[in-house]
């Protein structure tokens, strides 16, 4: 069956996190017919799925902003240009649907678990891919999941007045130690070594606030009748144990990520990322990548980085499908943008 213009999007953005949403906004600014696909049931990516109640500090223009509020703003920004959105729709295949005059690819077919989509260009903004928390390896701990022990925080006020033990030494652990101050009755943070992966400023703030931090400590066991009541921890240098009376155990020891089908699409990969050039082009013609999923020298996995990368990707995608269009059309404050 012949492909008609009505069947084809100018750009398909695979991933509805902050990078993908900003890309959809920019594509709308360039008057591109846009599709957003995301395997999650709502837009926002990790902002909504993992830490909606956590503050984000490293986005320009906001001294701090709740992740859910940032996601809502990004969705509102993207939706003003009315992209088509497919949530809970997983992209499983990517293959040429129609050649161009030079023997390259004019249209890509994106197979999903709901059917297929067609697009002239594709921007992969899949983040770290499908993710799940790394589980704490303690015998019998599974029975306490959702009963005082949790890996994610959807509602921080549910922890009001609780005695909390946080396990971890990265950004999530310290961010929650900081965010829950004044809400929890008490907070203790333990980490298996004395080096932290969190931002230095957050570590300093948590220490300055008097949160008890125990390094070289790990969880030995968890106890309680119907929910978590006690946790026994141990010093991994000496084996010395101590038991803490707690109401909540928050485990922040990282996530396991998997790009899944993306790895089978013929894209050049390195360090679990898609290799891109300075235009955010991949090795496949008309396919770009941006955000955490994109790999290039000097990469910093920040939301702010993703915003810049996806703007580059979308603008060069526009120039690819319309040779009369410039990759950089000017600033959004210029009058011609307002007229478009």
Query: For the domain with range 135-253, which CATH number is right: 3.30.479.10, 3.50.50.60, 3.20.20.140, 3.30.930.10?
Result: 3.50.50.60
Domain 5-130+256-339 indexed as CATH 3.40.50.300: no
Q: Could you tell me the pTM of the whole model?
A: 0.82
For every residue of 259-295, DSSP letters joined together read -GGGGGSS--EETTEEE--TT-B-SSTTEEE-GGGEE
Q: What is the dihedral of CA 205, 207, 212, 218, to 10 degrees?
A: 90
**Domain limits, CATH 3.50.50.60, in the chain:** 5-130+256-339, 135-253
Please check whether residue 279 is in contact with residue 261, taking contact to mean a CB–CB distance below 8 angstroms: no
Instruction: Please give the DSSP secondary-structure letter assigned to residue 145.
Output: B
Per-residue pLDDT of the chain in tens (340 residues, 90 and over written 9)? 455 677 899 999 999 999 999 999 999 999 999 999 999 899 999 899 888 888 898 899 999 999 999 999 999 999 999 999 999 999 999 999 988 777 778 999 999 999 999 999 999 999 988 778 899 999 999 999 999 999 988 889 999 999 999 999 999 999 999 999 999 999 999 999 999 999 899 999 999 998 999 999 999 999 999 999 999 999 999 999 999 999 999 999 988 878 889 999 999 999 889 999 999 999 999 999 999 999 998 889 999 999 999 999 999 999 999 989 988 877 776 655 554 4
Q: How far apart are CA 294 and CA 306, in angstroms?
A: 9
């Amino acid at each position: 069956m012949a492909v008609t213009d009505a069947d084809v999007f100018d750009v398909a953005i695979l991933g509805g996190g902050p990078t993908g949403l900003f890309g959809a906004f920019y594509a709308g600014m360039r008057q591109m017919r846009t599709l957003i696909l995301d395997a999650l049931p709502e837009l926002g990516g990790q902002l909504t799925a993992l830490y909606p109640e956590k503050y984000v500090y490293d986005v320009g223009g906001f001294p701090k902003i709740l992740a859910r509020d940032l996601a809502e703003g990004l969705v509102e920004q993207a939706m003003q240009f009315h992209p088509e959105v497919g949530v809970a729709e997983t992209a499983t295949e990517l293959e040429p649907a129609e050649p161009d005059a030079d023997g390259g690819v004019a249209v890509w077919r994106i197979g999903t678990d709901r059917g297929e989509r067609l697009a002239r260009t594709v921007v992969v903004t899949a983040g770290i891919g499908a993710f799940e928390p790394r589980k704490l390896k303690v015998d019998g701990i599974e029975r306490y999941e959702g009963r005082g022990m949790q890996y994610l925080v959807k509602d921080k006020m549910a922890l009001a007045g609780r005695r909390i033990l946080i396990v971890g030494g990265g950004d999530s652990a310290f961010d929650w130690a900081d965010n829950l101050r004044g809400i929890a009755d008490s907070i203790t943070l333990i980490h298996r070594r004395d080096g932290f992966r969190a931002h230095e400023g957050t570590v300093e703030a948590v220490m300055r606030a008097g949160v008890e931090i125990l390094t070289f400590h790990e969880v030995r066991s968890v106890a309680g009748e119907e929910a978590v009541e006690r946790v026994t921890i141990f010093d991994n240098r000496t084996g010395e144990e101590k038991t803490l009376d707690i109401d909540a155990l928050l485990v922040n020891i990282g996530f396991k990520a998997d790009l899944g089908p993306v790895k089978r699409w013929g894209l050049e990969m390195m360090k679990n990322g898609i290799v891109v050039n300075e235009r955010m082009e991949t090795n496949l013609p008309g396919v770009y990548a941006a955000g955490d999923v994109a790999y290039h020298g000097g990469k910093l996995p920040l939301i702010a980085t993703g915003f810049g990368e996806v703007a580059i990707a979308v603008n060069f995608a526009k120039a690819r499908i319309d040779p009369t269009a410039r990759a950089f059309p000017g600033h959004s404050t210029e009058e011609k943008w307002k007229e478009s």
